[in-house]
């Protein structure tokens, strides 16, 4: 069964550093999402991406964040200058045309020290 | 604003007993409702969805959920709980190709 994959599984970085989180959505899916889950809290929407552009973003997704689909298979989330409060589990999700359920990757745990 | 509420942080049930995990929602328009399960150190795994049609939907691993429009609820149920069902359960909602709004999650503990 096809699945969404994410790398790395765990990333530790120092405050102020840039990080790139990578996702490979299911191959025929067209809508892509990033969510985050701060430890012990609910899953929160960050951004959605369709047709090579951002279709919607939350207030969490400020100028420090960016997304890209550089090569038709990968979908990346970049945080330019990480803050302590960016420490969270980041989930990528994708959805196919005519479908309703989002398929989630296993997540990347980001720890900012 | 859309919201999903899961009133219980923790649900404990004995193995073999029925389980219910509660969820209520507030969505503009017709709601699309979902349940996801998260095992330790794993991603969110889709269990079931309600889009339209029968109010009782069946999903993976013997789980089912009942859509109740008048009570704006979508409670997750299983007739006979297994120890392996112990996990974190999330209810989520959207109104069609919009970002999912999640509840805070309910930790289910099934005791042998």
Supply φ then ψ for residue B72, to 5 degrees: 45, 50
Across residues B10-26, what is the average pLDDT?
A: 97
Q: B15 or A1, which is more confident?
A: B15
Contact B78, B65 (CB under 8 A): no
pLDDT at residue A3 greater than cutoff 70:
yes
Supply φ then ψ for residue B66, to 5 degrees: -115, 120
* Among B8, B43, B47, B53, the residue to mutate for chain A (most A Cβ within 10 A): B43
Length of chain A equals 113
Q: For chain B, how many structural domains are there in total?
A: 1
H-assigned helices in B5-70:
none
Here the CATH number for the domain that contains residue B43 is 2.60.40.10
Supply φ then ψ for residue A85, to 5 degrees: -75, -5
How high is the pLDDT of residue A91? 96
Q: Cα–Cα distance between A66 and A79 in angstroms, integer? A: 7
pLDDT at residue B20 greater than cutoff 90:
yes
Task: Pick B99's closest partner by Cβ from A45, A101, A106.
Answer: A45
For the domain A5-9+16-95, what is the CATH code?
Answer: 2.60.40.10
Provide the residue range defining the domain that includes B93: 3-111
In chain B, % of residues over pLDDT 70 = 99
* Among A9, A33, A43, A90, the residue to mutate for chain B (most B Cβ within 10 A): A43
Contact B50, B32 (CB under 8 A): yes
Q: Cα–Cα distance between A108 and B94 in angstroms, integer? A: 24
For the stretch A41-96, pLDDT in tens is: 889 999 999 988 999 999 999 999 999 998 878 999 999 999 999 999 999 999 98
Residues 26-55 of B with CB under 8 A from A: 32, 34, 36, 42-46, 49, 51
For the stretch A4-36, pLDDT in tens is: 999 999 999 999 999 999 999 998 898 999 999
Counting Cα atoms < 13 Å in the Cβ hemisphere of A3 gives: 11
**CB distance B99–A56 less than 8 Å?**
yes
Contact A41, B42 (CB under 8 A): no
pLDDT at residue A2 greater than cutoff 90:
no
Bond from prior residue into A24 cis (ω within 30 degrees of 0): no
Q: Where do the domains of chain A lie?
A: 5-9+16-95
For the stretch B51-103, pLDDT in tens is: 999 999 999 999 999 999 999 999 999 999 999 999 999 999 988 767 899 99
How high is the pLDDT of residue A71? 84
Task: Pick B99's closest partner by Cβ from A41, A48, A100.
Answer: A48
How high is the pLDDT of residue A65? 97
A40 to chain B: closest CA residue: B104
């Amino acid at each position: 069964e096809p699945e969404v994959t994410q790398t790395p599984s765990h990333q530790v970085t120092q405050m102020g550093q840039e990080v790139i989180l990578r996702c490979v959505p299911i191959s025929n899916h067209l809508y892509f999402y990033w969510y985050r889950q701060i430890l012990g809290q609910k899953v929160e929407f960050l951004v959605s991406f369709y047709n090579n552009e951002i279709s919607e973003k939350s207030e969490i997704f400020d100028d420090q964040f960016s997304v890209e689909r550089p090569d038709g298979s990968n979908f990346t989330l970049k945080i330019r200058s990480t803050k302590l409060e960016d420490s969270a589990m980041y989930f990528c999700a994708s959805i196919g045309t005519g479908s309703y359920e989002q398929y989630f990757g296993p997540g990347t745990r980001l720890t900012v020290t | 604003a859309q919201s999903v509420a899961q009133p219980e942080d923790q649900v404990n049930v004995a193995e073999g007993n029925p389980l219910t995990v509660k969820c209520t929602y507030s969505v503009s328009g017709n709601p699309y409702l979902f349940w996801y399960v998260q095992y330790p150190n794993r991603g969110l795994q889709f269990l079931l969805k309600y889009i339209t049609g029968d109010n009782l939907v069946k999903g993976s691993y013997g789980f089912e959920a009942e859509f109740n429009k008048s009570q704006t609820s979508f409670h997750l149920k299983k007739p006979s709980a297994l120890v392996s069902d112990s996990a974190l359960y999330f209810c989520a909602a959207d109104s069609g190709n919009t970002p999912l709004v999640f509840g805070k999650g309910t930790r289910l503990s099934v005791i042998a």
